[in-house]
Amino acid sequence: MAVIKAGPGPLEDLGTFLRPFASLVRRAESREALERYTTGLLADLPRKTASDMGRALPRTSGQRLQEFLTRTGWDPGAMDRLRIQHMVAHASVGEGVQVIDDTGLPKKGTRSVGVARQYSGTLGRVDNCQVVVTSHYVDRVFDWPITARLYLPESWTQDGERWARSQVPPDLPFRTKGEIALELIDRGLDAGVPTRAVVADAGYGDQPSFQDGLEARQLPYLVGVATSVRFRRAEEVDQDPGAETPAPYQGRGRPRRAQRLEDRIPSHEAGGLVDGLPEEAWQVIAWRAGTRGALVKQATRLRVYRVGYRGAATTTQGWLIGERPLPSHQGEAKYYFAWGLDALELDGLLELAHCRWIVERFYQDSKGELGLDDYEGRLWQGFHRHVALVMLAHCYLALRRTYGEVVTRPPPAPWEAITDAPPAPVRGFPPSRPRQHRRSTTSRA
């Protein structure tokens, strides 16, 4: 069903949805500001800045909304946790995945927190922008945002004046995007997100520390990898497990060193390993029904050992997966690495790899409809409060879309809210979903 966008007046059920979150603030004026700000994000306005929403909505002003972001005492992390628990109860059928990604928010000037000339996948180039790392929940029926954090470039850690002016916590250390992603995953796990695996694109598949962190947490994962990422064929490593142990050092001459694994076993780039497989190793796989028919690719896989930081040998063995368009189709070859997912067949792995597209739809909806990139404040806390409220509004719309109303009753049995028919037998991971759940999260009435 189409979701009716908010007008100047309050939405009938928004107050019901926000009632648990009102406990995060103390004063009645702050609770009203929470409702007004969320209504503004849902309103049919060209821009969702505090000043624009304050002028358009009754019973508030731009100053009040800005104070709610910067001066009122409430924790966006606590709001995220409460929202996550609500969504787990009412919008999850379990065995989901956490999708990790980041998005760029173009900015002018240098005073907004985290802004710098840096690469943005959204823009496809290096430009002046902020970059936000996000985690997103996906299962075979539902999807919704988990949490997010702003990435601070290293140049910010070396500029104490900007750091203090933006009110970044003084004890906050520099974190790579991969380290931020691990923090977000932990937040989701602590809040009860049922996580079967983690999925990320090649920007995270080229960060050995990120993969090390997932393996330390015993979290299966599938990440995209660039063609230049190096692996070792499992059969080559297993056939030459190690050179003979050198004789004990007798105190004369230079001590003998055991030959390193990377010296004995050659490393291969992902593209060369996969593209060198014979034609009979490739399978034609359709992983999902699209608007123009089935989505089909050729795919293959082989067992490999992952190469660690600076080419160091690792004992991590998994599947290197390659996909390419059919001979009569256009497109680029892509590569993935999967760990801890040996129970999945190749079609299940390819399905899992392609569930990442859902987060792109979230970015499109949250920017185009909910004002994610309209925040004009400059402070660390105000930015994360704005993002938390955008995710809150998005989850409200997701529940409205699914149930037609705000959910206050216990959650239904899996699939009950979608169809009266029982689900089809599921083999491996099934992120595909009914047709009515492929539309945009929000739409104009």
* pLDDT the model gives residue 239: 73
Q: Where are the beta strands (DSSP E) in 152-308?
A: 195-200, 221-225, 230-233, 268-269, 283-290, 293-307
DSSP 11-29: PTTHHHHHGGGGGG--SHH
Nearest to 383 by CA among 62, 85, 148, 172: 148
* pLDDT the model gives residue 1: 31
> pTM here?
0.84
Structure tokens at 442: 């929000």
CA distance 294 to 316: 34
Q: Check residue 430 and report its DSSP letter.
A: -
Structure tokens at 328: 């009569």
* pLDDT the model gives residue 292: 72
Buried b (16+ CB within 10 A) or exposed e, 42-79: bbebeebbbebbbebbeebbbebbbebbbebebebeeb
CA distance 186 to 190: 6
C-alpha angle with apex 169: 165 to 175, nearest 5 degrees?
110
* pLDDT the model gives residue 240: 66
Tens-of-pLDDT digits for all 445 residues of the chain? 344 466 556 677 898 999 999 999 989 999 999 999 999 999 989 999 999 999 999 999 999 999 999 999 999 999 999 999 999 999 999 889 999 999 999 998 888 999 999 988 777 889 999 999 999 999 999 999 999 999 999 888 888 888 999 999 998 999 999 999 999 999 999 999 999 999 999 999 989 999 999 999 999 999 999 998 999 998 888 776 553 334 454 555 555 443 344 445 677 899 999 988 999 999 999 877 766 777 899 999 999 999 877 767 778 899 999 999 998 888 899 999 999 999 999 999 999 999 999 999 999 999 999 999 999 889 999 999 999 999 999 999 999 888 876 655 444 443 333 333 333 333 334 444 433 333 344 433 3
Nearest to 48 by CA among 350, 349, 296, 386: 386
Structure tokens at 378: 């400059």
Parallel, antiparallel or unpaired: strands 221-225 and 283-290? unpaired
* pLDDT the model gives residue 108: 86
Nearest to 35 by CA among 70, 3, 6, 77: 6
Q: Check residue 6 and report its DSSP letter.
A: B
